[in-house]
Structure formats: structure tokens, C-alpha cells
């Protein structure tokens, strides 16, 4: 049995899998008569690989807390669209990803723990685990391509992999 621990979510470590959406370290632009600070161009969306994929969609996910250690039974990917997870209450969450092409590289799987207020945009085709919420009723806005129902590929893990909750 293999154990996986969480790393801190940061842009450099997460870059092979997608973008961290966070204004930290960036200079905002003042808009709306100075009442709003805009952190622009934090992530690019890649939501329509094919003309028939349909318009991008926004969903609301209300998640249950996971129990730890969490058995990571499978990974999924979406080959025709990126996917964005935005916590609506500023809560932390865990994103589990793995490099790979037709198959995930299970040995190089990584888990990242977000800081409050961070969101992520996964690259199109990125292998990832389903949403890992830390609290019951955590709410997320999820942006994805219109063909998400037919664009989800799942693969079972070849061995038991346990994700441990960080201290």
C-alpha cells in the first residue's frame, strides 16, 4: 500500500497540471471607481476542443467531507475541455493529480492542499481525482465544457493508495 501526502498548492509545482487561480504576489488593477481590485488574467480556459462540444457550463457542487486516510480508487480526465474548481466560501480543498497520456502515471501522482481563497484550473486531459472536500457542504463553482457527461474517462488504481490529511 502506498501513502500520499499533500504538498502546498503553488503555481510552480502545479504548472504541469494546470493553473493556480490566486492573486497573491500580483498587482491588482483598480476598477469600478476604485471600489474593486481586479486581479486579471489568472488562468486561460480551454473548454471547446471540438465544434460540437457545446457551450461552456457553470455548475454548483456541494460536497461532503472526505474521511482520512482516503483511499484513492480511481482517477479521471476530460480530454476535450479544461475544468475549473472555485471554492465559494474561501475554504481549503485537496486536488489530486497525475501526469500521463493515455494512462496516468500512478507513481508520480501528487496531492495539493489549497490555501483559503485559491482555486484551480486543470489542463485539458489532466488526470485527477474527484473533488476532495474537507468540510460537509463545501460549495464550489465548477466551470467545464458542455460535453462533460461524454468527456469523462475513469481508470481504477492498480494498487491501494491512501491519501493522508496534512497536519
Percent over 70 (pLDDT), the chain: 100
Confidence at residue 148, expressed as pLDDT on a 0 to 100 scale: 82
Give the domain ranges of the chain: 2-163
Q: Does domain 2-163 correspond to CATH entry 3.40.50.300? A: no
Cell of 27: 498587482
Q: What's the Cα-to-Cα distance from 46 to each of 83, 100, 119, 124, 141, rounded to whole Å?
A: 8, 18, 16, 7, 17
* Residue pair 9/113 in contact by the 8 Å Cβ criterion: yes
- pLDDT classification of 28: cutoffs 50, 70, 90: very high
pLDDT over 80 (residue 50): no
pLDDT digits (tens, 9 = 90+) for 109-124: 999 999 999 999 999 9
Q: What is the mean pLDDT of the chain?
A: 93
Cell of 33: 471607481
* Distance of alpha carbon 94 from alpha carbon 114, whole angstroms: 6
Amino acid at each position: 500500500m502506498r501513502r500520499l501526502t499533500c504538498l502546498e498548492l503553488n503555481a510552480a509545482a502545479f504548472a504541469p497540471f494546470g493553473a493556480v487561480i490566486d492573486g497573491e504576489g500580483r498587482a491588482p488593477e483598480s476598477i469600478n471607481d476604485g471600489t474593486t481590485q481586479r486581479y486579471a488574467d489568472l488562468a486561460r480556459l480551454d473548454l471547446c476542443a471540438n465544434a460540437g462540444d457545446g457551450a461552456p457550463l457553470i455548475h454548483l457542487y456541494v460536497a461532503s467531507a472526505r474521511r482520512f486516510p482516503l483511499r484513492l480508487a480511481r482517477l479521471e480526465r476530460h480530454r476535450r475541455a479544461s475544468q475549473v474548481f472555485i471554492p465559494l466560501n474561501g475554504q481549503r480543498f485537496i486536488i489530486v493529480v497525475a501526469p500521463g497520456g493515455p494512462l496516468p502515471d500512478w507513481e508520480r501522482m501528487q496531492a495539493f492542499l489549497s490555501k483559503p481563497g485559491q482555486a484551480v484550473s486543470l489542463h485539458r486531459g489532466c488526470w485527477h481525482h474527484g473533488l476532495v472536500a474537507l468540510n460537509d457542504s463545501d460549495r464550489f463553482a465548477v466551470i467545464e465544457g458542455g460535453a462533460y457527461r461524454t468527456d469523462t474517462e475513469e481508470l481504477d488504481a492498480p494498487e491501494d493508495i491512501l491519501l493522508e490529511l496534512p497536519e
